[in-house]
């Protein structure tokens, strides 16, 4: 089965599902390709929108079984081509819903995620909440609509002066938002507009208890603004966001700046895989399947704890080490750990390396080797079974790591001790 993947940043050819993808998020692309390989789909990645236009014009697009699209609405020409593709082959949109009625879609459950975020803020005794947006997109509108809904249902307050990017009365986008970003009337620069908005926020007589940023990138700019202007937050301010962007958390010390940071962990990999699953159903089932929408709820990541606190680090180390000791042989041991710690993959691996003084994979491999050595010395069982029982995916991997660590082959080691 041949599918099309269009990415105007990367040209790559794998085995055909058509994916329109202008995202730089390699995690999304990797998940799509991985899921396609599992299903033995042939994936063709095309760079230019002009190529898609030509394929539609000459009919070669019909050579593909289906398409998956990751195309933001702001890329109007590309998005228009993506919507045209729906008239030729089965299509599933990922992350950006189209205006086509009954279109198939896989993405985050922004309504539920926003409700979860506001519930967490309420539990933290936040009563006054602000909202910041600077993009024209479906997800921004969905998140703001959910923000207004849950503000009312939870009995919270959101004054007009704390809301940016939307008209709080009508719920519509602010007039100075155009395309993928807002613009300042004088300079036309997104960051200038955003910084001017931050300045307006601090002119308010009363600050909100928390501000929800529609993207973590805006929260990053907010933190940089505080640092640049040397602004110290009076009392406590909670920053909340989406997407769990760790360009933010990796270089900002929230704790020392009086900032409590909480964000929605959006599972990009799972959403991408769900998109391929939907496409497979659509291709195989044709019209037998009703229009499908698959929304994935995220999880919360809370960075209120200071990583320099020995107590916090010791607790993290003990919990993780205990889990690994009991489950070291599991094939996908990292996934349940991420779920239990409620941390993103990037942040967890960074924190693990800092606290354990070695990378996660190295720690796991060393533990598995130790368990293997113990089994070699105490059991007369085949080395291949010892390797697989310890959690190694292949004997070759076990063999290479064993020689690297113990300077001899597993068989020689076994002959020495038995």
Collapsing DSSP to helix, strand or coil, 284 comes out as helix
CA 109 – CA 266 distance, rounded (Å): 9
Q: Which of 77-86, 307-316, 408-417 has the lowest mean pLDDT?
A: 307-316
If phi > 0 it is left, if psi is from -120 to 50 it is alpha, else beta; for residue 358 that is beta
pTM of the model: 0.65
Do residues 179 and 136 lie in contact, with contact meaning Cβ atoms separated by under 8 Å?
yes
Residue predicted with more confidence, 258 or 308: 258
pLDDT score of 72 more than 60: yes
> How does pLDDT run across 326-378, given as a tens digit for each residue?
999 998 899 888 877 767 677 788 889 989 999 999 999 999 999 998 888 77
The mean of the pLDDT values for the chain is: 78
Residue 26 confidence class, pLDDT cut points 50, 70, 90: low
Q: 3-state SS string over 113-144?
A: HHHHHHHHHHHCCCCEEEEECCCCCHHHHHHH
């Amino acid at each position: 089965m041949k599918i099309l993947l269009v990415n105007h940043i990367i040209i790559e050819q794998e085995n055909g599902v058509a994916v329109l993808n202008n995202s730089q998020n390699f995690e999304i692309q990797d998940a799509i390709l991985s899921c396609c390989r599992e299903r033995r789909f042939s994936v063709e990645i095309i760079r230019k929108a002009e190529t898609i236009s030509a394929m539609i014009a000459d009919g070669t697009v019909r050579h593909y079984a289906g398409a998956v699209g990751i195309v933001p609405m702001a890329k109007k020409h590309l998005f228009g081509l993506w919507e045209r593709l729906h008239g030729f082959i089965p299509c599933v949109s990922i992350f950006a819903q189209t205006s086509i009625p009954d279109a198939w879609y896989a993405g985050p459950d922004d309504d539920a995620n926003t409700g979860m975020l506001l519930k967490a803020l309420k539990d933290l005794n936040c009563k006054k909440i602000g909202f910041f947006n600077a993009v024209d997109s479906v997800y921004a509108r969905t998140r703001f609509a959910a923000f207004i809904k849950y503000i009312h249902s939870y009995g919270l307050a959101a004054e007009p002066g704390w809301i940016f990017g939307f008209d709080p009365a009508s719920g519509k986008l602010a007039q100075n938002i155009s395309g993928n970003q807002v613009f300042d009337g004088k300079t036309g620069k997104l960051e200038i507009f955003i910084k001017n908005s931050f300045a307006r926020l601090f002119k308010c007589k009363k600050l909100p208890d928390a501000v929800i940023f529609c993207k973590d990138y805006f929260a990053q700019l907010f933190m940089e603004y505080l640092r640049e202007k040397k602004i110290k937050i009076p009392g406590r301010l909670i920053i909340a966001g989406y997407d769990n962007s760790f360009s933010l958390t990796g270089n900002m010390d929230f704790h020392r700046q009086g900032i409590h940071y909480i964000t929605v962990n959006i599972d990009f990999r799972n959403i991408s895989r769900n998109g391929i699953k939907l496409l497979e159903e659509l291709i195989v089932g044709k019209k037998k399947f009703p229009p499908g929408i698959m929304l994935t709820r995220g999880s919360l990541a809370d960075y209120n704890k200071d990583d320099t606190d020995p107590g916090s680090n010791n607790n993290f180390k003990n919990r993780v080490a205990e889990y690994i000791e009991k489950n070291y042989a599991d094939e996908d041991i990292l996934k349940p750990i991420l779920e239990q710690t409620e941390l993103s993959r990037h942040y967890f691996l960074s924190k693990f390396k800092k606290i354990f003084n070695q990378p996660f994979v190295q720690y796991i491999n060393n533990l598995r080797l130790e368990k293997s050595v113990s089994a070699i010395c105490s059991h007369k069982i085949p080395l291949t079974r010892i390797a697989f029982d310890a959690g190694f995916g292949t004997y070759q991997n076990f063999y290479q790591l064993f020689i690297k660590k113990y300077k001899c082959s597993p068989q020689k080691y076994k002959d020495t001790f038995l």
